[in-house]
Structure 1
Amino acid sequence: MPVNSLNFSNVVMLKNYLITPATTDANNFDVYQLDHKDSYEITRVITSFNGYKLVNNNGITDDYGGRNDLGIIMKMLVIDNILYVGYESGDLLALNIDFEPPIIITKANDAPSTGKLSAFLKQSKTVINRDPKITLVDHINIHAPNPIISLSHSNNHIIAGSTTNKLSLDHDILKLNNSGIQSILPTHKVLLIGYWNGIIEGYSDNQCVFTNKRQLPRVNILDSNKGNAKQENSLLVKLTFMVSRDKIESKAVSKYSIKQKFTDQELVFVGFEDGTIYVYIVS
């Protein structure tokens, strides 16, 4: 399955369909149907779908910097069978894909038959495949012209972040304390925001309720001209990912799992660029 690997985007599943950046154009996406009755079969049902053309066909005439496209696909997310696609231009499209089943027409031959098998063989069957239909459900351009770099959702509401400090919740805006929103992680207590610079913040009722960061050790540097030591500013360890694990039933925990005392806690796993993974308890 050819996929444009020089792309920031992830891939997503919608029912039994795999959605990936297009093979030849990173601005568009392909859709593959995955069937696994006896063995896996892969069929491309949508080839290089262009979101920019769909937006223009709906009468939206925003200025995209004269480039006549939305840029490459940055992030994708499926919420309640709606595909959200975030672009380099900062546009976020909500798309409904209607995978219409094929039409099967069966006709019986008028010639006389001598038995059930003969009658079955005299039937003719015609299969008419119908192309999927894609419609625009919503268009959010709060982040334009800054690229969408993170997507998440809470209670079926889309949450998006970009290279700026603006967080969009559907069509509403929340301005954060830092820029470069690398990760968005809703928990049962707070909305966790991870930034490129390594800072993690927790928000509740649109207010920042805590801040967490990892700093490299400070180094004392001798100033040869003055003969005294000065302290170099410490750097933050940058963030690479965040993911949560919900509470699990204790009876489902094996002796090889996380210690049983943590099974009734919601855990957040945070990875950093130095290869370490920190585990936090959401309480």
Structure 2
Amino acid sequence: MLNSLAVAASAPSASPLSILIPSLSLSRPFIPPLPARILSASASSSSKPLPFASFYSSPMNILNKLGFGPRTPDPSSMDSTIPQGPDDDVPAPGQKFAQFGAGCFWGVELAFQRVPGVTKTEVGYTQGFLHNPTYEDVCTGTTNHSEVVRVQYDPKECSFEALLDAFWARHDPTTLNRQGNDVGTQYRSGIYFYTPDQESEAIASLERQQKLINRKIVTEILPAKKFYRAEEYHQQYLEKGGRFGFKQSATKGCNDPIRCYG
């Protein structure tokens, strides 16, 4: 395995539900939803958002029957016209966009925040079939969205190749729909290009990486599609303190280990 590849694997603590339901596989820790009256009280007393559950495939039916878990999107709303269209947002003058999926977008964003020449990062959802998806929608595993970081960078200070280097170093591109304990299509490895030059550089970079790894790389390289910005509490999540309130540095060039969940 290439030494520069750092697998983003952080094992969350065991969930009570995993004891009640042995076959249940959870990625981010599951926290049952609170009653509305408690949520209202929490919202008025704390600015910290409540974390959501992340699930993959069949466990959803069990959780929904128990009254837990995110809603399943209505199939009638799966109009793919807009989400499957190109990302029509415009970067700042003189800047360029790039999109990368490499597992849970919290740690991936922090890695790109530290790259010199990167002027802005946003986490969100793309490549799916549902218009305006929520985090709960994506976590059902039915919308085909990938968790991505959209990077805005100054090409005079940061090359696309430098972004690719950060991408490969951040995750294991040989695990299909999985990074560590995070399992599901939303965690797949992907490079989503905006220009023919980005596409050709991405393909060449993948071919170089494949020569260094003895397992097949499963990274998808596709045109950038509509980008849906994730909920605000996801943005710069680890820099703001993550789950435990311990802020992690986004300083350019910082090489401190990234704690995936904070």
TM-score by length of 2: 0.25
Of structures 1 and 2, the one with the larger relative CO (CA 8 A, separation 6+) is 2
Higher-helix-fraction structure:
2
State which structure, 1 or 2, has the greater radius of gyration over its C-alpha atoms: 1
